[in-house]
């Protein structure tokens, strides 16, 4: 989500005094641990050399040394074609046009915008946003984010169908002024219209949409029993070590095994066995508590006395659950633990509309941006990575206990039984994965030293951030998406920005890091499961005067960017980078609207491929197996709009409310995208 949001709320209700309601959805930093910064660990690279701005580039000559090529036998075995050596299109210039701009020779068209009917009675979207809460529960949600295309023949893993499949899309959050005909009704800082809040709840979550390419090459929604809306109220199961934990007990689930809904679903992932993973990012802001002494599982995540949308201010169990205040003598009588049922990765079987989504607690609880799997091999553990997108938080890795068996339907244990690690980036280019495991001697010793105790592994995972503090992980500049190179297995992660970084370190080399960077690493063990890696910096985002591209040179007019966020490798090893620049970065800086670039790692080339409409974020990317159709999401076009002041009218044009949408990109000659 954009780092800063300012909304024009004055028109809503004269009585509204509470400026925190609906305000900035970004999390404030909540990591007050004393974890050392890198330069404190290695005195040789000290404060004198790690300084702000362009001068930071000096150290990167050492840190940015490319990782040595790994054998390409994996890609050859997989029958992958040889990579393109060059990017054969003209870069899109920086622009502030209210449209999606792609290079000459490519086409882009909006698809399944917010409010598209996909299930139930297929209610038509009404331009004045007067659709009901129930309608919204049968239409695509608001603010598309991470997504994945599952070929229709992918029920048991990898499919090949490139003209028919399930498009599964996250809906990260809502802009209430645009969701309702006249904006939300707020009286004395409280919500008073239950149906408005129900519509907001239904505009969150995930859409599963069966889509097909017609004979003339257009994609269309298939009216299908598989189409489904998952919302912030859909029943979910809790699995893994925190299932049944006393800190998961709520009035709704006295045995701590179930929960309602998923929200703030940012980036995503997908498993080797054909399921979708949606990630709960800035969930903490959906809760409020009046308690003054907060337990660590709330305070370390920034749960506070006010919520973002004020859902908890309405009466009734469906709303009161967002109030985490202790009201009863025990946890089974209130919702003090409702926030601990969020912050997880949720597994969804997109091919079974009757399946219950599962919160996988073994993968940790934090502001999950997304999740990306390392290449899986039969007989080896499953390994995946996830970033905690908040300032000064950590990057994590999960390694399953059990081995992956392709084709096996018994995948439950792979995401329930395993070890979670947090990353420590040493200044000499080495790195370590620190186990957050109560059975691990080093972790137990660190807990003893820190004077921190956990009763069991469930409590460790519920307090993942604290566990990583204790283990000594490296505070990062807001970890966002990860991507794994299909040939080399190198893992890339975006670090979007961190304007609260006061002390640079080797892995986060800029003070007050407004532009962000991309880090990468290579595991020492071939199965990705080991504890050691080597890392380097891939990109320092920024203007020409303060940046370093993949070729080691400053960025140019063809590729300047800031706040890298979305990240994805196509099968041929091109790295696609999407930006989430703040409103002021887009209007005041040299970067124009948010954009998507593509890098060829072999040549070091990087070019801007797409620029989004005014006030949007470009996020979410997936493709058909034949790579002739590329899907990209446009989130919150016209951010800050009100019904009477539309800052963007994409995609429907003059006078129409802006709508988040998927963009379908093809080549005019119908060939592969790159
Ligand atoms: Fe929802 Fe970290 O972006
Ligand atoms: Ca972001
Ligand atoms: Ca994001
Ligand atoms: Ca976002």
**Mind listing the pLDDT tens digit for each residue in 615-641?**
999 999 999 999 999 999 999 999 999
CA of 616 to the centre of ligand 2 (A): 12
Which residues neighbour ligand 3 (ion) by CB within 5 Å?
Answer: 266, 565
**Cα 535 from chain centroid (whole Å):** 22
130-168 confidence digits (pLDDT tens): 999 999 999 999 999 999 999 999 986 679 999 999 999
* 21 pLDDT tier (thresholds 50, 70, 90): low
Q: pLDDT band at residue 32, thresholds of 50, 70 and 90?
A: confident
For residue 72, the model assigns a pLDDT of 36
Residue whose pair of structure tokens reads 């997108």 in the numeric block: 389
63 close to ligand 1 (CB < 6 Angstrom): no
Q: Which of 60-69, 98-107, 317-326, 496-505 has the lowest mean pLDDT?
A: 60-69
Mean pLDDT on 17-45: 55
DSSP element (H, E) containing 400: strand 395-403
Q: Has residue 645 got a pLDDT over 60?
A: yes
Q: Which ligand is nearest to the CA of 265?
A: 1
Structure-block tokens of residue 332? 């089974």
Q: Residue 619 Cα, ligand 4 centroid: separation in angstroms?
A: 7
For the Cβ of 281 lying below 6 angstroms from any atom of ligand 1, the answer is yes
| pLDDT number for residue 481 | 98
4 Cα–ligand 2 center, Å: 10
State the closest ligand 1 atom to the C-alpha of 282, by its place in the atom list counted from 1: 1
Q: Say how far apart CA 104 and CA 475 lie, in whole Å.
A: 42
Residue 13 has pLDDT above 50, yes or no: no
pLDDT confidence tier of residue 408, bands split at 50, 70 and 90: confident
**Position in ligand 1 atom list of the atom nearest CA 367:** 2
Give one word for 590, left, alpha or beta, with left for phi > 0 and alpha for psi -120 to 50: alpha
Closest CA to 483 of 313, 584, 614, 599: 599
pLDDT digits (tens, 9 = 90+) for 304-354: 999 999 999 999 999 999 999 999 999 999 999 999 999 999 999 999 999
Q: 1: Cβ below 6 Å to ligand 1?
A: yes
Tokens of 385: 């990575």
Q: What are 462-489's pLDDT values in tens digits?
A: 999 999 999 999 999 999 999 999 999 9
Name the band, by pLDDT with cuts 50, 70 and 90, for residue 23. Answer: low
> Which ligand has the minimum distance to the alpha carbon of residue 281?
1
Alpha-carbon span 198 to 179, nearest angstrom: 11
Give the distance (Å) from ligand 2 centre to CA of residue 250: 31
Atom of ligand 1 nearest to the CA of 389: 2
Which residue has the CA at smallest separation from atom 3 of ligand 1? 1
The rounded distance, in Å, linking the Cα atoms of 517 and 511 is 12
State both tokens at 103: 């290079």
Distance 386 CA to ligand 3 centre (A): 12
Q: What is the pTM of this model?
A: 0.92
The least confident of 48-57, 406-415, 422-431 is: 48-57
Instruction: Answer whether residue 80 shows pLDDT above 60.
Output: no
Is 358 near ligand 1, meaning CB less than 6 Å away? no
Mean pLDDT of the chain: 91
Residues 283 and 303: their CA atoms lie apart, in Å, by 9
Q: Measured in angstroms, how far is the CA atom of residue 394 from the centroid of ligand 3?
A: 15
Ligand 1 atom index nearest CA of 496: 2
**DSSP-based three-state secondary structure for 333:** helix
Measured distance CA(353)–CA(331) in Å, rounded: 32
Secondary structure E strands in 18-139: 106-111
Look at residue 6 in the predicted model and tell me its pLDDT: 30
How confident is the model over 444-468, as pLDDT tens digits? Answer: 999 999 999 999 999 999 999 999 9
pLDDT at 68 over 90: no
Looking at residues 480-509, what average pLDDT do you find? Answer: 97
CA–CA gap between residue 25 and residue 4 (Å, rounded): 8
For 252-296, write each residue's pLDDT tens digit: 999 999 999 999 999 999 999 999 999 999 999 999 999 999 999
Give burial (CB, 10 Å; 0-12/13-18/19+) of 648: buried
Cβ of 567 less than 6 Å from ligand 1: no
Whole-angstrom distance, CA of residue 462 vs CA of residue 61: 40
User: Closest Cα to atom 1, ligand 1: which residue?
Assistant: 1
Distance CA 91, CA 84 (A): 16
Closest ligand to Cα 389:
1
Supply the pLDDT for residue 450: 98
Half-sphere exposure (CA, 13 Å, Cβ side) for 258? 11
Instruction: Check: CB of residue 631 under 8 Å from CB of residue 664.
Output: yes
- Residue 266, ligand 1, Cβ within 6 A: yes
Atom of ligand 1 nearest to the CA of 480: 2
Cβ burial of 623 (10 Å; 0-12, 13-18, 19+) is: buried
Residue 38 has pLDDT above 60, yes or no: no
The answer to whether residues 231 and 348 touch, using CB atoms and an 8 Å cutoff, is: no
Whether 210 is in the pocket of ligand 1, judged by its Cβ within 6 Å, is: no
Q: Which residue has the higher pLDDT, 83 or 215?
A: 215
Environment of ion ligand 4 (residues, CB < 5 A): 1, 172, 617
Using only C-alpha atoms, the chain has a radius of gyration, in whole angstroms, of 23
Task: Please identify which residue in the block is written with the tokens 């979708």.
Answer: 276
What pLDDT was estimated at residue 34? 75
CA 584 to chain centre: 22
Residue 434 has pLDDT above 90, yes or no: yes
Question: What six digits make up the tokens of 450?
Answer: 């820190």
**β-sheet bridge partners, residue 108:** 665
Determine the pLDDT at residue 155. 85
Q: How far is CA 158 from CA 152, 153, 271, 406, in A?
A: 10, 8, 10, 10
Yes or no: say if 349 and 356 are a contact pair by the CB < 8 Å rule: no
pLDDT of 10 over the 70 cut: no
């Amino acid at each position: 989500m954009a780092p800063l949001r300012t909304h024009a709320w004055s028109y809503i209700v004269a009585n509204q005094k509470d400026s925190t309601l609906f305000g900035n959805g970004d999390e404030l930093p909540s990591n007050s641990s004393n974890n050392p910064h890198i330069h404190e660990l290695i005195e040789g690279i000290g404060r004198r050399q790690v300084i702000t701005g362009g001068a930071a580039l000096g150290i990167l000559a050492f840190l940015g040394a490319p990782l040595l090529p790994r054998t390409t036998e994996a890609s050859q075995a997989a029958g992958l074609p040889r990579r393109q050596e060059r990017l054969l299109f003209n870069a899109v210039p920086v622009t502030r046009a209210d449209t999606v701009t792609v290079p000459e020779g490519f086409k882009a068209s909006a698809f399944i915008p917010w409010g598209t009917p996909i299930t139930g009675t297929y209610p038509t979207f009404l331009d004045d946003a007067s659709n009901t809460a129930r309608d919204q529960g049968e239409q695509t949600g608001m603010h598309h984010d991470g997504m994945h295309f599952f070929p229709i023949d992918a029920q048991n893993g990898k499919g090949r169908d490139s003209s028919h499949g399930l498009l599964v899309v996250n809906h990260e959050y809502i802009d209430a002024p645009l969701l309702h005909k006249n904006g939300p009704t707020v009286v004395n800082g409280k919500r008073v219209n239950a149906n408005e809040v129900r519509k907001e709840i239904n505009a969150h979550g995930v859409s599963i949409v069966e889509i097909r390419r017609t004979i003339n090459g257009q994609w269309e929604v298939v009216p299908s029993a598989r189409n489904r809306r998952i919302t912030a109220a859909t029943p979910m199961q809790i699995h893994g070590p925190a299932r049944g934990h006393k800190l998961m007990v709520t009035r709704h689930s006295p045995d701590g095994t179930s929960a309602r809904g998923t929200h703030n679903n940012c980036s995503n992932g997908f498993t080797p066995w054909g399921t979708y993973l949606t990630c709960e990012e800035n969930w903490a802001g959906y809760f409020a508590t009046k308690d003054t002494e907060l337990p660590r599982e709330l305070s370390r995540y920034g749960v506070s006395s006010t919520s973002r949308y004020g859902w908890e201010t309405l009466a009734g169990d469906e709303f009161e659950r967002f109030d985490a205040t202790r009201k009863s003598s025990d946890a089974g009588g209130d919702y003090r633990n409702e926030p601990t049922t969020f912050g997880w990765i949720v597994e969804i079987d997109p091919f079974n509309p009757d399946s219950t989504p599962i919160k996988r607690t073994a993968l940790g609880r934090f502001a999950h941006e997304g999740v990306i799997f390392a290449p899986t091999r039969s007989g080896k553990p499953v390994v995946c990575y996830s970033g905690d997108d908040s300032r000064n938080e950590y990057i994590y890795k999960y390694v399953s206990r059990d081995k992956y068996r392709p084709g096996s339907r018994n995948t439950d244990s792979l995401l329930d039984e395993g070890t979670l690690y947090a990353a420590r980036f040493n200044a000499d280019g080495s790195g370590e994965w620190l186990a957050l495991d109560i059975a691990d001697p080093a972790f137990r010793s660190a807990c003893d030293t820190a004077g921190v105790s956990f009763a069991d592994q469930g409590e460790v995972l519920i307090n993942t951030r604290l566990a990583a503090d204790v283990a000594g992980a490296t505070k990062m500049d807001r970890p966002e998406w990860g991507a794994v190179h299909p040939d080399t297995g190198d893992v890339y992660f975006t670090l979007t920005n961190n304007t609260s970084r006061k002390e640079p370190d080797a892995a986060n080399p800029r003070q007050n890091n407004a532009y962000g960077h991309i880090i990468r690493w290579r595991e020492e063990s071939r199965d990705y499961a080991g504890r050691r890696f080597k890392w380097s910096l891939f990109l320092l985002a920024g203007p020409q005067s303060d940046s370093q591209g993949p070729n080691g040179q400053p960025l140019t007019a063809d590729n300047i960017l800031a706040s890298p966020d979305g990240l994805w490798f196509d099968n041929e090893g091109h790295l696609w980078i999407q930006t989430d620049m703040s409103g002021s970065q887009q209007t005041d800086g040299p970067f124009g609207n948010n954009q998507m670039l593509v890098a060829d790692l072999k040549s070091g080339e990087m070019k801007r491929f797409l620029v989004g409409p005014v006030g949007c974020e470009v996020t979410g990317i997936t493709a058909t197996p034949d790579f002739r159709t590329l899907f990209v999401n446009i989130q919150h076009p016209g951010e800050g709009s009100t019904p009477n002041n539309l800052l963007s009218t994409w995609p429907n044009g003059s006078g129409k409310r802006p709508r988040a949408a998927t963009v379908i990109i093809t080549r005019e000659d119908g060939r592969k995208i790159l």
